[in-house]
A and B are shown apart, each in its own frame.
Chain A
Amino acid sequence: MTVNRITAAPGAQLSVIPTDKFKSNYFALNFYLPLEKQSAGELSLLSRVMLRGTEPHPSIGELNRYTDMLYNLTFSLAVSAIGSVQTFSFRMDFLGDRFVPQAEKADILDSALDFAQEFFCRPLVRDGAFLSEYVESERKLLIDRIEGEINNKDRYAMRRGRMHLLGEHPAAISPNGDIETVSCVTGAQLYERFRSILVNAHAEALYVGEFSPDTEGKLLDVLRKILPENRVDAPMPETDSFKPASDGVGEIVEEAKTRQGRMVLGYSLPYTGEESPVANAFIEIFSASPVSRLFANVREKLNLCYYCSASMDFSLGIMTVMSGISEKNVEKARAEISRQLNGMASGDVSDTELDRARSAIVSSIKTLKDTPSSLGEWYLRRIVQGAPSDIDALMDGVGRVSAEQVAEFASRARLCMAYFLRGTDE
């Protein structure tokens, strides 16, 4: 895989992965800034308001009709977080020019780049503020969405569990914003925030797709029109890893009207970017597959639940274990999860487990190359995490992981928080 990395503007890089392997092309422009309560609320609302229209296409209907005529060009503007870094991401996915039916010739790549430029350079703004009608209706919809987090019990329990685990750490802030902030943001503040990120936020652009000699020039030209000349050379914000506030285990129980309880266990698990092969091997053996410790023991052997799985937040150095589980099985599941983790920490990691983990990780890394969006998103995430993104070097690293390294890594895990969403309809 060839990645051409070019400085597009101060504090803004363009990465290009030329390939004609896919039928569609992928373009992303991401902005990164520290995750803070006020900016999270503003950016979350801003992303929705900007999707309502541009100056040339001033309504959602006109915008959708225009992009659908471009053979279903799909685009999004979304907020998310990687550790305590807020991302504000514009993404487009569009059909390769060579797949347009011959009778209907169209230059979709050129039109898509024109559209990206229109989206950022010609937002629907009146007197220095986004259109109040759109701000008000999107404010209501965003508040509905924040209130609607309770609808998905898995996601809700995970969010609550993480919040309790992280406490005062900035990563506990929801990138979707909170109702209090969203309720009082104005269209003028949104426009000011929009201008501010264009000037002050570190930016990463990425293009994966068909490539001709002038493609790079076109991409740079569009980016230089979107990014103002007075841009600050902002570095990528850094995430502070999580440090537990105390030595104890916080026990939290909340209730919801559900048929099944949801358990979230939160661990601190310190990690540095270079250790990613070891961390991946650990999580693979502990939880990632149907032959992992948690699946084989908590589900298959003890039959305590339908799912029990762990995930690591590499940016923060935390691990969460989640299960949909009846209250009567919670203690048994916790005991088994601890038993498996302690077993690995004391060196009980077999050669078979390690071989399987290595094969699975190598396979998942190779598979990244198979879709433009998975390749692009993975690459951008590695940049934010400061982790190596050379795929071949990564696979070599996985081959060198030892059982001792995995055991040592497992021994760092410390349970800090146990959250249970009790189902009142069980």
Chain B
Amino acid sequence: MIQANNLTETKKSRLLGEEYTLIRHKSGLDIYVVKKDFSATYAVFGTRYGSLDNCFRIKGEERPVEVPEGIAHFLEHKMFEMEDGRDAFELYAETGAEANAYTSIDRTAYLFSCTSDFETNLRTLLRMVTSPFFTEQTVKKEQGIIGEEIRMCEDRPWDALHYGLMRAVYKAHPVRIPITGTVESIAEITPELLYNCYNTFYNLRNMALCICGNVDVESVAAIADEMLEIAPSCEIERILPEESPEVDHSREIIEMQVSKPMFSIGVKDCESAEGEPCHYEAVRNLLCESLFGMSGDLYSELYESGAVGGYGAAYFTERDIGLLNIYGDCDDPEAVFEKFREYAERVAQTGVSEEQFIRARRVLYAQTVRSFESSSDIAEAFFSAFAAGQELFDYAEEIYRVTKEEVDMLARRLFRPERYAMCVLKPVE
């Protein structure tokens, strides 16, 4: 049912000392407004559309649509060009605003930060994202620029390592493909394909606008009323291949000009959030921090023995991707992998210690509180939560609701050899 008026609700978090207003705009767009006394006001307007969305079916259509890899990122580049021949960057520049955009595996976002003329900049943002304009000529020009971006990324060892791991872990999932696509795949992009993707995914009902700074809710709603038309219903079936819990292959070896070997270990997690996305993410982040954080036993053991000079660890939980990832450089990746395996399987038997668990909880809690430190961090956190289907304020609370037993149970389910893979970057001879 189409809603006739804007609906607003305000939510508070006592734990974080924050509050926000959600405008369920009659156009179909969700608008989050956080009023803060910062110099800069930041706005991000984005869609749940990323590099994974290469195959989809629109309601009523029988056949799925398949589009070239890298098209979401390509579309992001093209949205700054406007029909009157101007570039949106020029409009932002007139007020001194800083503007940018990004594409990830599950979202595309357009943003600006300004210290004056917020309303003018918000109109520019809404106009550029709701007025696509693509021609053969401008598409061809962008193929050259993005081709150079692709080559730049191909020179980055961490990118090579990341995509190498994705190929090892996933059998056919599009997360294996770089967000930018390839020089060959972007050569297939046409204005028609761009319009098709735009019309499918840039539906306001699939999008959110998140604003943080010295703004008031009424003026934001008034501009949205003025600029946004009511969006049609939006039902997109995203077609992704089925993935089994096992990795595709356990080792991916790549040669590159690096000074010493680099490794990236992945543990595949195919469980779904099942309606509790904040809890799901909190359990996984607590597991990762307890076991693989810098105060975890593995970090100390590997560092003190000289096996690594530090490593990073993260748990990815975007869309249907669940992956525990540990990465760094070392002399002997297989020895590091073996230490990881022994440690993980030992913890699966014994569980994490109470001390490790409490420490990890404090770390995650403090990181969450500190993520509310600037207008850009806050607005982006709201947009990430929207993309993940989460209620942002619930996450900090969930960190204290998760029990050690839940973390132990996840460790038992997760730490099995068939879920492990490693990508190694070997220095070229």
Residues of A within 8 A of B (CB): 21-24, 59-61, 64-65, 67-69, 71-72, 93, 95, 98-99, 101, 104, 137, 140-141, 144-145, 147-153, 256-260, 289-291, 299-300, 303, 305-307, 324-326, 355-356, 358-364, 366-367, 369-372, 423, 426
A150 touches B366 (CB 8 A): no
Give the distance in Å from the alpha carbon of A68 to the alpha carbon of B375 in the complex. Answer: 26
- Other A-B pairs beyond A68-B360, A148-B259, A260-B152, 7, CB < 8 Å: A64-B294, A151-B257, A152-B156, A303-B144, A326-B148, A359-B96, A360-B93
Give the distance in Å from the alpha carbon of A60 to the alpha carbon of B303 in the complex. Answer: 8
Contact of A137 among B259, B306, B362 (CB under 8 A): B306
Give the distance in Å from the alpha carbon of A24 to the alpha carbon of B370 in the complex. Answer: 7
Whether a CB of chain A sits under 8 angstroms from the CB of B373 is yes
B370 touches A95 (CB 8 A): yes
A150 touches B258 (CB 8 A): yes
User: Smallest CB-CB separation from B148: which chain A residue?
Assistant: A306
A367 touches B373 (CB 8 A): no
Known: A69-B359, A151-B259, A306-B152. A291 touches B90 (CB 8 A): yes
Question: Cβ of B151: which chain A residues have Cβ within 8 Å of it?
Answer: 259-260, 324, 326, 426
Question: Cβ of B313: which chain A residues have Cβ within 8 Å of it?
Answer: none
What 0/1 readout, one digit per residue, does chain B (303-347) give for beta carbons within 8 Å of chain A? 110100100000000000000000001000000000000000000
B257 touches A258 (CB 8 A): yes
A290 touches B370 (CB 8 A): no
Whether a CB of chain A sits under 8 angstroms from the CB of B295 is yes
- 4 shortest A-B CB distances, which residue pairs? A359-B96, A61-B300, A290-B89, A71-B366
Known: A61-B297, A64-B300, A358-B96. A150 touches B259 (CB 8 A): yes
A370 touches B304 (CB 8 A): no
Question: Cβ of B20: which chain A residues have Cβ within 8 Å of it?
Answer: none
Contact of A23 among B149, B304, B373 (CB under 8 A): B373
User: Smallest CB-CB separation from B94: which chain A residue?
Assistant: A356
Known: A68-B293, A363-B97. A370 touches B374 (CB 8 A): yes
A68 touches B294 (CB 8 A): yes
B94 touches A359 (CB 8 A): yes
Known: A61-B304, A150-B259. A367 touches B113 (CB 8 A): yes
User: Smallest CB-CB separation from B331: which chain A residue?
Assistant: A144
Give the distance in Å from the alpha carbon of A360 to the alpha carbon of B99 in the complex. Answer: 11
Whether a CB of chain A sits under 8 angstroms from the CB of B367 is yes
Give the distance in Å from the alpha carbon of A360 to the alpha carbon of B116 in the complex. Answer: 10
Would you mind naming 11 contact pairs between A and B with Cβ atoms under 8 Å apart? A23-B369, A60-B299, A65-B295, A71-B365, A72-B367, A99-B17, A300-B87, A326-B151, A360-B98, A364-B98, A367-B39
Shortest Cβ distance from residue B211 to the other chain A in the assembled complex, whole angstroms: 15
Question: Cβ of B428: which chain A residues have Cβ within 8 Å of it?
Answer: 257
Whether a CB of chain A sits under 8 angstroms from the CB of B238 is no
Whether a CB of chain A sits under 8 angstroms from the CB of B15 is yes
Contact of B145 among A150, A299, A355, A361 (CB under 8 A): A299
Whether a CB of chain A sits under 8 angstroms from the CB of B123 is no
Known: A23-B369, A24-B370, A101-B400. A289 touches B98 (CB 8 A): yes
Give the distance in Å from the alpha carbon of A260 to the alpha carbon of B159 in the complex. Answer: 15
Question: Cβ of A153: which chain B residues have Cβ within 8 Å of it?
Answer: 155-156
Give the distance in Å from the alpha carbon of A151 to the alpha carbon of B161 in the complex. Answer: 12
Whether a CB of chain A sits under 8 angstroms from the CB of B363 is yes
Known: A258-B257, A289-B93. A64 touches B148 (CB 8 A): no
B155 touches A259 (CB 8 A): yes
Q: Which of B403-428 contact A (CB under 8 A)?
A: 428
Contact of B359 among A65, A104, A144, A367 (CB under 8 A): A65
Give the distance in Å from the alpha carbon of A325 to the alpha carbon of B260 in the complex. Answer: 26
B373 touches A22 (CB 8 A): yes
A303 touches B145 (CB 8 A): yes
Give the distance in Å from the alpha carbon of A101 to the alpha carbon of B97 in the complex. Answer: 37
Whether a CB of chain A sits under 8 angstroms from the CB of B350 is no
Q: Which of B96, B115, B144, B367 has the most CB of A within 10 A?
A: B96
Contact of A72 among B141, B145, B358, B362 (CB under 8 A): B362
Whether a CB of chain A sits under 8 angstroms from the CB of B10 is no
User: Smallest CB-CB separation from B89: which chain A residue?
Assistant: A290
B114 touches A363 (CB 8 A): yes
B96 touches A362 (CB 8 A): yes
Give the distance in Å from the alpha carbon of A360 to the alpha carbon of B148 in the complex. Answer: 28
Give the distance in Å from the alpha carbon of A157 to the alpha carbon of B143 in the complex. Answer: 26
Question: Cβ of A137: which chain B residues have Cβ within 8 Å of it?
Answer: 306
Contact of A306 among B38, B145, B304, B309 (CB under 8 A): B145
A324 touches B148 (CB 8 A): yes
Give the distance in Å from the alpha carbon of A51 to the alpha carbon of B425 in the complex. Answer: 28
A366 touches B40 (CB 8 A): yes
Whether a CB of chain A sits under 8 angstroms from the CB of B154 is yes
Question: Cβ of B294: which chain A residues have Cβ within 8 Å of it?
Answer: 64, 68
Question: Cβ of B295: which chain A residues have Cβ within 8 Å of it?
Answer: 61, 64-65, 67-68
Whether a CB of chain A sits under 8 angstroms from the CB of B95 is yes
Shortest Cβ distance from residue A262 to the other chain B in the assembled complex, whole angstroms: 9
Give the distance in Å from the alpha carbon of A362 to the alpha carbon of B400 in the complex. Answer: 42
Give the distance in Å from the alpha carbon of A133 to the alpha carbon of B413 in the complex. Answer: 39
Shortest Cβ distance from residue B2 to the other chain A in the assembled complex, whole angstroms: 37
What 0/1 readout, one digit per residue, does chain B (13-49) give for beta carbons within 8 Å of chain A? 0010100000000000000000001111000000000
Contact of A359 among B95, B360, B367, B375 (CB under 8 A): B95
Give the distance in Å from the alpha carbon of A306 to the alpha carbon of B114 in the complex. Answer: 25
B359 touches A68 (CB 8 A): yes
Question: Cβ of A300: which chain B residues have Cβ within 8 Å of it?
Answer: 87, 145
Whether a CB of chain A sits under 8 angstroms from the CB of B280 is no
B98 touches A363 (CB 8 A): yes
